[in-house]
C-alpha cells in the first residue's frame, strides 16, 4: 500500500495530513505516535506571562462531547522555552501556539518561539473561549484580527497558521481577510461555546458559566465551516473538530481541507492518531488512490 501521505501547507511540507491539536498532547503522547505518520504537533498555547488557568471543575462530559474551561494554563513563554521545549522529541514538526491579551503580547511570544529554532510554524490562538481578555475577542473582531495577523506576519518569518473561532456569523469573510493579511493556513475550527447545568444544584457543571465544546458532537458543525472556508481556495485549510476515525478525517479532506487535526480523540484513545492513519491508507489504497492530495477537495456539490 504505497500511499503518499505527504501534504504541503503553504511552503511547509508535512509527513502526513494528521496534526495533533493544541492542548491535547503531552510528552506522554509521543510514545503512541510515529514521526513519519505525524504531520505536526501543535503544543499547548503559551502566553507572555504565566497563566494559572481556571479553577476546577474544568471538564464536563456531554453526549458525544467534552465541555472544557482550562483557561490557557501555561508557565509563560520564557519558562516554557527554558524548561519544557527541550523535552519534546526533535523528530516531529512542532507548531508553537500563541495566545495573548494584546497584539504586542502575541508579537513578542511569536518572536521568542521563532528564536528558539524549535518550531516549524506558529499558530495564533485567536479563538480560546475561556479567557476574559484576548482569545476569542481577536477571532471575532475582524479589524483587530487583521491588525494582529499583519503585525505578527511582519515580525516573524515562520509559516503562520491562524486558528479561527466557530463562534461568529461571518467566518468566510474573516477567513478571506485573514489570508490576505498574511496567514499561510487557517485552522478551522476551535471549540464551540457551550454550557452544561447540574440539575441538582442548578449551577454550571464547570467552574465558569460557559466553556468550549469539542468531540463528535461538533463534527457536522465544524465540517460545514471547513467547507465554507475551503471554498475560497486562496489559502490552505487545516480542518477538524470531532474527528475520531479515518472516515471523519476523509470527510474533512473531501470538502477541501489539505490537512486535518485530531484533538479530543487523543484524550479518549492515545492510539487514535495511529489508527486514523492506518485506516486512511487502507481506504485510499482500496479505492485506487495513490496519495492524500488526490482526495482533497473532491466534494461533489448537490445539483
Partner 1 sequence: MRSKNKKFCLSKSRVILNQELAQRRFLLRFEAPEIAKKALPGQFIQVKVGGFDPLLPRPFAVSWTENDYIEILVEVRGKGSSLLAKAQEGESFNLLGPLGKGFSLPKGNTKNLVLVAGGIGLAPLRFLAWEASKNGYFITLLYGDKNQSCFLPLKKLLPEKVLVRSIVEEKNGQTGMVTDLLKDVIEEFKDSCFFVCGPKAMLKEVYGQLARKKIVRAQFSFEERMSCGYGACLGCVVLTKKGYKRVCLEGPVFEGEEIIWESI
**Footprint of partner 1 on this chain (CB under 8 A)?**
23-29, 31-32, 44, 52-53, 55-61, 63-66, 68, 70, 73, 215-216, 244, 264, 266-271
Q: Which is nearer to partner 1, 23 or 240 (CB)?
A: 23
Least separation in angstroms between residue 62's CB and partner 1 is: 8
Least separation in angstroms between residue 192's CB and partner 1 is: 15
User: Nearest to residue 139, comparing CAs of 169, 94, 110?
Assistant: 169
Catalytic site includes residue 25 = no
Q: Which is nearer to partner 1, 139 or 211 (CB)?
A: 211
Least separation in angstroms between residue 283's CB and partner 1 is: 20
Strand pairing category for 203-204 and 197-198: antiparallel
Helix axes 219-230, 171-180, angle to 10 degrees: 50
User: Nearest to residue 116, comparing CAs of 90, 152, 135?
Assistant: 90
Residue 87 class from Cβ within 10 Å (0-12 exposed, 13-18 middle, 19+ buried)? exposed
The alpha-helical segments, DSSP class H, found in 48-90 are: 77-79
Q: Which is nearer to partner 1, 52 or 303 (CB)?
A: 52
Least separation in angstroms between residue 188's CB and partner 1 is: 21
Residue whose cell numbers read 513563554: 77
Note whether 7 and 259 are within 8 A (CB).
yes
Check 19, 128, 186, 217 and give the catalytic one. Answer: 128
Q: Which is nearer to partner 1, 32 or 283 (CB)?
A: 32
State how far the Cα of 240 lies from the Cα of 22, in Å rounded to an integer.
12
**Which residues are known catalytic residues?**
128
Amino acid at each position: 500500500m504505497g500511499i503518499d501521505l505527504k501534504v504541503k501547507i503553504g511552503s511547509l511540507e508535512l509527513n502526513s495530513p494528521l496534526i495533533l491539536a493544541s492542548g491535547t498532547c503531552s510528552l506522554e503522547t509521543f510514545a503512541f505516535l510515529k514521526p513519519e505518520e505525524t504531520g505536526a504537533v501543535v503544543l499547548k498555547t503559551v502566553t507572555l506571562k504565566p497563566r494559572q488557568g481556571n479553577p476546577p471543575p474544568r471538564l464536563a462530559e456531554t453526549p458525544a462531547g467534552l465541555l472544557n474551561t482550562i483557561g490557557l494554563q501555561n508557565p509563560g513563554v520564557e519558562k516554557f522555552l527554558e524548561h519544557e521545549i527541550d523535552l519534546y522529541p526533535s523528530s516531529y514538526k512542532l507548531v508553537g501556539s500563541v495566545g495573548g491579551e494584546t497584539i504586542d503580547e502575541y508579537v513578542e511570544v511569536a518572536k521568542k518561539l521563532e528564536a528558539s529554532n524549535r518550531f516549524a510554524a506558529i499558530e495564533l490562538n485567536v479563538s480560546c473561549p475561556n479567557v476574559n481578555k484576548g482569545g476569542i475577542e481577536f477571532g471575532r473582531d475582524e479589524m483587530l484580527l487583521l491588525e494582529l495577523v499583519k503585525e505578527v506576519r511582519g515580525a516573524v518569518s515562520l509559516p503562520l497558521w491562524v486558528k479561527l473561532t466557530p463562534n461568529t456569523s461571518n467566518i468566510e469573510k474573516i477567513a478571506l481577510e485573514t489570508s490576505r493579511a498574511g496567514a499561510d493556513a487557517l485552522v478551522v475550527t476551535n471549540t464551540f461555546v457551550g454550557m452544561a447545568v447540574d440539575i441538582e444544584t442548578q449551577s454550571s457543571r464547570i467552574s465558569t458559566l460557559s466553556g468550549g465544546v469539542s468531540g463528535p458532537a461538533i463534527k457536522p458543525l465544524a465540517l460545514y465551516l471547513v467547507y465554507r472556508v475551503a471554498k475560497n481556495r486562496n489559502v490552505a485549510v487545516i480542518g477538524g473538530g470531532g474527528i475520531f476515525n479515518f472516515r471523519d478525517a476523509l470527510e474533512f479532506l473531501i470538502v477541501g481541507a489539505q490537512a486535518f487535526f485530531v484533538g479530543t480523540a487523543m484524550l479518549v484513545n492515545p492510539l487514535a492518531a495511529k489508527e486514523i492513519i492506518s485506516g486512511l491508507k487502507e481506504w485510499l489504497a482500496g479505492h485506487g488512490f495513490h496519495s492524500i492530495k488526490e482526495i482533497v477537495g473532491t466534494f461533489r456539490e448537490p445539483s
